[in-house]
Every structure is written in C-alpha cells, then in structure tokens.
Amino acid sequence: MRQIILIVGGVVVAVVFVVVGFTFKQTNKEELALMSRLQSRTQIIADSLAESIEPSYRKYATSSVQQVIDRITNNERVAGLGVFDSKGMPVAVSNSLPKETLQELLVARVMDSNVPEGIFVKSGEEMMYVFADPIHDDERVVGALLVVQNAQYINDTLWNIWRDNMIRFFLVTFLFLFAIFLMAYSVFIKPLSRMAESVKAVRRGDVDTEEPEGGHGLFSPLSTEISKITHSLKRARLVASEEARLRLEKLDTPWTAERLKEFFKSYLKGRQIFVVSNREPYIHKKNKNKITWQIPASGMVTALEPIMEACGGMWLAHGSGDADRQTVDDRDMVKVPPDDPGYLLKRIWLTEEEIERYYNGFSNEALWPICLMAHNRPLFREPDWRMYRQVNGKFARSLLSEIKSVERPLILVQDYHLALLPRMIKNSRPDAEIGFFWHIPWPSAETFSICPWRKEILDGMLGADILGFHTQQHCNNFLDTVSKEIESIVNFEEFSITRGDHTTYVKPFPISVAFPNNGKAGKAPKSALMEKYKLNTEFFGIGVDRMDYTKGIMEKLKGLEFFFSLYPEYQERFTFLQIAPPSREGVKKYREFNEDVTREAERINKKFEKNGWKPVVLHKEHCSYEEIYPLYRAAHVCLITSLSDGMNLVAKEYVAARSDEVGVLILSQFAGASRELRGGALILNPYSAEETAKTIFEALTMPVSEQYRRMKKMRDTVKNYNVYRWAAEFLKSLSNLS
C-alpha cells in the first residue's frame, strides 16, 4: 500500500507541475491580450476627446471643457477624465477621477516629451490604467488630457482562470485517485489481503479456513503457491495437534504452546479463561503523531502473555498508557497482541488518586516491602487501605459484568495488588473456579503480623480455590500465618485451609518462561549492539532489572567496583551493561533509589575510566525482549543480585536464550530461581561485595567445557518446566477441584 501511495503521489506531483506551468502560460498570454485591448480602447477615447476639447481649450472656455468631460464620463465606461494646463494645474476634471493615480508626474512627463503615455497603477484595492495625451495649439503643447480606465477586470479574469484550472485539476485528480484506489484494491490489496489472512489463520491454528483461490489474475502464480503452503501448514498443524494430544499424559515430553492449546481443548473443554491483574500486557503510547505499543517490564506479563496467546480468553487490567483510551472500543476492549490478535484485553480506568493510594501507597509502600523483606520499612496508612479496597471492588465489578453469562468461569487473579478480589468474586459467584497466584515471596508469620489489616487480606486471598506461590517455603509461611491470624482449619498434610464451607489449597508452582520462545528472538547484529551500548571489549556482562531497591543494583555496583580493584587486569577488557528501566516513579523511595544508582554508576566510572573505556554502562530505558535477546546471546556473564525475589525470570530468560549452551549465570541465593538452577548457576550472597567480585572472576575464567555442562543442565530444567507446563499444572489443579 505504501508503494502505491508513493507512485500515485509522484504522479500527482508531476501533474501539479504541468497544470501550474500551463496555467501560468495561459494567464500571461491572456493578460497581454487584455492589456493591449484596454490600451487601444483608451487611445481611441483620448484621441476623440482631444478633438472635442481643443477648440474650447484654446478659447479658455473652461465651462465648455467641463461640460464635455462630464458628458463623456457619463456616456463612456471610464473611471475618470481630466484636462490640465501647461503648468500641470487642473482645468476641468470629472468627479470620479481617482486621487492616487500619479497624474501630476505623468502629465508633466507627457507635456515635456510631447508623446502620449499610459501606465498601470494601483489605486486603493483596484488596478487602474492611466493614459495622458498632450493638447496642442498649432504645434505647441499647451496642456494634457488624462484618461483613467478601471483595469481591475484584468486581475479578476486572471484569477478566474487560475480558479477554474485548479477546480478542474482537483476534480480530475480526485477521479484519478479514486480510480487508482479501486483498481489497486481490486487488483492488488484485496487478493493479497485474502492470501495473507489465509496464511495467518492457518498459522493461528484455524484449520477450517478456506485456502485462497488461484484464479486467473495477476497473482495467479503466487496464489497457487500460497494455496500449497497453507495446505502444507494445515497438515503440519493437524499432525502437531495430534502429537500434542498423544503427549498430554506423558510428562516426560516437552510442553509447547501447541500442547497447552490441545490440553486446554481436551481437558478443560474450551472453557474461557479470565486473567485479572493490575499490570496490562500491552501498553499503547503516543509517539509524536503516531500510536505505538510496548510490553511492560514485568515478570508476571512475561509468564502469562504466552499462555493467553496459546489459550485465548480475556485479560482485565488497569489501562496505564497515555494512548490506551484511543485504542479500545465502547466496552473498553482491544484485541491483542496488536500485530497478531489472539485474545481480548479489557482495560479498567483508575483516577490519579486511586493510583496514588491503591498502587503507589498500599500496594508498593505497604505490601511490597513487608513481603520482600529488603530492609525498607513498610508504610501503613488508613486512606491507602480504604482506596485499596475500593479499587479491588472496581476490578470485581468489571469482572462480574463479563462473567454474568458464563457458566463455571475460570478466573486467574494475579499478585498482591488484588488480594481482596478472590473473596469478592467468590461471594457473588460461588460457581466460579478461582486461582490466585502470588508472584512475590510470602514472609514469615511474625513479619506479616505487623500489617494492621492482615486478617482482611488473608480472608480475601482465601476466597480462591487454588492459591499458588513460587516455592514450598512461601506456602509454608502462608499456612503458618493463617493458622496464627484467623479462625480456620489448616491441614499441613494436604496443604489446605478450610474456612466455613470453603477450602483453599495452597501449592507451589514455580513460574517459568516460554521455552522455546515462539520465534520472538531479536535479530540485531552483534556488532550493532556492541556499538550502541559501547561494549567494544573482550568480555561483557549483563544485568536486567527494574529500577527497584529489592533487585540489589547498588550491591551489584559495589561488587563490580571490588572486582576491578581486585583484578585490575580486566580493566579495559570487561564492560558491564546494566539495563534498569524506571519503576514506580510515583513512589518517593523509588525516585530516590534511581538517583542513588545513577550517582553510584557515575562515581565508579569516574574512578576507573581510561582511554574512553568505562566499566559500567547504565541504560535506564525500557527494552523489549526482542531487543534484549541478542544481548543475552552475546553476554559472557549474566549477573543477578536480588536481595529478595519471588522467582526472577531474567535468570530463566538468559538460560533459554543460550542455545549455544555457553555463558555463565551468576544468581543471588535470595532469588526463587536459585532453587531450580542451583546445579548450573554460580550462587552468591549479594550482600558480600568481595564474594560478588570473586564470582565474576570465576565466571570469566570458567573453561568452555564447564560452561557447557552447567548451561546444558539449566536449559534442561527450564525446558522441562517451562511456562506452558506451569499453566497446565495450575489449570489442572484448579479444574480438578470440581
């Protein structure tokens, strides 16, 4: 389409030049003709008038001259007449003679030269033609006759020519473009769109889609080949679906998006899934005059988005992008992913006060620090708690409106922002099967006991049928908390909690990433990446974290400082790239942390920089997975120093990206991923800068054979328990309850 627009635009520009050129030539020719006729007519009027005036003028019969002028002015289409003596003084003039015609100058010049002369002048807003003719007494010049003609009609005629030609041009151009559009649509766009939709539908798994007709048109050969391709894709899809169906009960075979889709059809009979979270999977933003989209930096989104692409359904979330409202329909919904829609996203709108108190306040200044236990005191404020309850209610009302006609809906509530939502939904829809996954650690009972509204939060969470955490330790902490805080029956053998007539099962589901990654890998050349991030050194390491104090970025920088001090031979040979997009900028603690990290990175760079080399490259902008993937592939070391973390999917993303089975993962012992990847990653205590420095040295000096052994072991772990298997086990546990 873009090429067609360019071609048509070029044709239109060429036609514009032709039309303007011909119109310019036509108006010049017409102007000369009109001016010539006006000059001739004025000359005739002046000559005949001079013959009538000269006898009376010689006798000084001024009144007779005036009578002649008045008669001619009334009978002829002239703007004004005047007779002037040899001194240039008016003898007789018509009342209509314009004042601004340069008459004195012209009269004097004509009498001096004894030659008639005419000029075009501007009088007010109109064009005038002023003609002066000398009056003779025998051979002597004794005065001058001035004739003024209105020449504005010449300009009007030229303007009409331009107007008429432009109207014709625009009319012809419109008809031309309309004809081009119809031809392009019928000959190019429609056939190509039909073929593209056919291939896209087959790629999505719609095996009932009709193949594009070959026809006898311009694209007949291409259409025939695409028909063959779609037929092959259908057969391959059917074979893959059958293989996935046969593998459903074989836990030793890898889980893929196709297998999860087949599991969903066969085991859950195609029931619709509703995911509810604060964070949306796609954000639309204004970029100059365009609307762009991006995937937010979120481990929850990283894990759940491939599941929704595989299974479809609806995702309800807070619309936070500045162009989100412009992309939804009248039900606040939009199909996503934007480039290949597979499910519905319903956006919920929050006011600035709701965001400030529910999200920045209670969620991230109270629940986040109490659960992450990263040495930041939680702040409990009554208005924040009230707003937290209010926003949970807003999510509940929106969800209930969507499931009112759905029988036994499957609802997956995500994370600590919506702890009250499961109970709200269960009270209104007891038949709903609710799974609630807590993406961050659950603290000890003693730690959680400082929360003033702990009982309400626990009761809200126990509205779920299945409550999932990353690790068994988090499950144990939750069971212990419930047993000490609210009246219930806690079964430590079955890991269940019964409150009234409802039982909630608490299970560990260590979340993972897509493996394989469905072809979403970036393909930027390594040299371009090295140049962009100034990584032109023998070795480089990478860290990918939100700008969050729980991620241990300051501790990481301190460890890097110790490394370059202990091992100076790596100066100018090793560069560390820290990608840290800003997070929760509405919270003061996060803004201060951002500033602290920036100052610390600048201090370390100033301490060690030489010959244009800097040890730390701090990139504080959001990067998509497609942008980060090539960096994972090229990095010799991935350094993760979380002070407390639920899982940390960056560790698994790095492992999944290393299909070459080399590279070293350095992983904090406080990240949930360290329990699964312990046999392959180098585990460290991020609070010890000396230990971090020595571990980096160990990674850079590790033999390739050792790297291969460790990476292969980690890749087997991630492959065998990827996000598709996580989703299948979570959904299976939820549906088994009924």
Strand 616-619 and strand 574-579: pairing?
parallel
Which residues sit opposite 468 in a β-bridge? 437, 507
Do residue 65 and residue 81 come from a single domain? Answer: yes
Residue 455 has pLDDT above 60, yes or no: yes
217 is a domain residue: no
How far apart (Å, rounded) are the C-alpha atoms in residues 48 and 147?
12
Do residue 427 and residue 494 come from a single domain? Answer: yes
Do residue 146 and residue 283 come from a single domain? Answer: no
731 is a domain residue: no
208 is a domain residue: no
590 is a domain residue: yes
337 is a domain residue: yes
Residue 517 has pLDDT above 70, yes or no: no
Do residue 544 and residue 634 come from a single domain? Answer: yes
Q: Which residues of 182-210 are buried (b: 16+ CB within 10 A; e: fewer)?
A: eebeeebeebbeebeebbebbeebeeebe
For range 587-600, the mean pLDDT: 93
Do residue 387 and residue 272 come from a single domain? Answer: no
What pTM does this model have?
0.70
How far apart (Å, rounded) are the C-alpha atoms in residues 308 and 315?
8
The token duo for 536 is: 């032109």
Do residue 294 and residue 443 come from a single domain? Answer: no
Do residue 568 and residue 433 come from a single domain? Answer: no
Q: Domain of residue 383: give its range.
A: 352-508
How far apart (Å, rounded) are the C-alpha atoms in residues 564 and 457?
47
Do residue 417 and residue 545 come from a single domain? Answer: no
Do residue 101 and residue 88 come from a single domain? Answer: yes
The per-residue pLDDT for 1 is 58
How far apart (Å, rounded) are the C-alpha atoms in residues 308 and 340?
12
167 is a domain residue: no
Residue 142 has pLDDT above 60, yes or no: yes
The per-residue pLDDT for 221 is 67
The per-residue pLDDT for 214 is 46
State the distance between the two ends of the chain, measured CA to CA, in whole angstroms. 52
225 is a domain residue: no
For range 139-167, the mean pLDDT: 86
Give the best-scoring range by mean pLDDT among 15-19, 103-107, 388-392: 388-392
Residue 161 DSSP one-character state: H
> What's the number of domains the chain is made of?
4
Do residue 566 and residue 677 come from a single domain? Answer: yes
Residue 637 gets the label, from left (phi > 0), alpha (psi -120 to 50) or beta, of beta
321 is a domain residue: yes
% of residues, the chain, pLDDT over 70 = 88
What is the domain-level CATH number for residue 107? Answer: 3.30.450.20
**Strand, helix or coil for residue 597:** helix
What is the domain-level CATH number for residue 571? Answer: 3.40.50.2000
How far apart (Å, rounded) are the C-alpha atoms in residues 279 and 319?
8
Positive or negative, the Cα torsion across 290, 295, 297, 300?
A: positive
Could you tell me where the beta strands, DSSP code E, fall in 51-106?
A: 80-85, 90-93
Give the best-scoring range by mean pLDDT among 90-99, 302-311, 646-655: 646-655
Do residue 422 and residue 468 come from a single domain? Answer: yes
Contact (Cβ atoms closer than 8 angstroms) between residue 544 and residue 629 = no
Do residue 487 and residue 625 come from a single domain? Answer: no
Contact (Cβ atoms closer than 8 angstroms) between residue 76 and residue 45 = yes
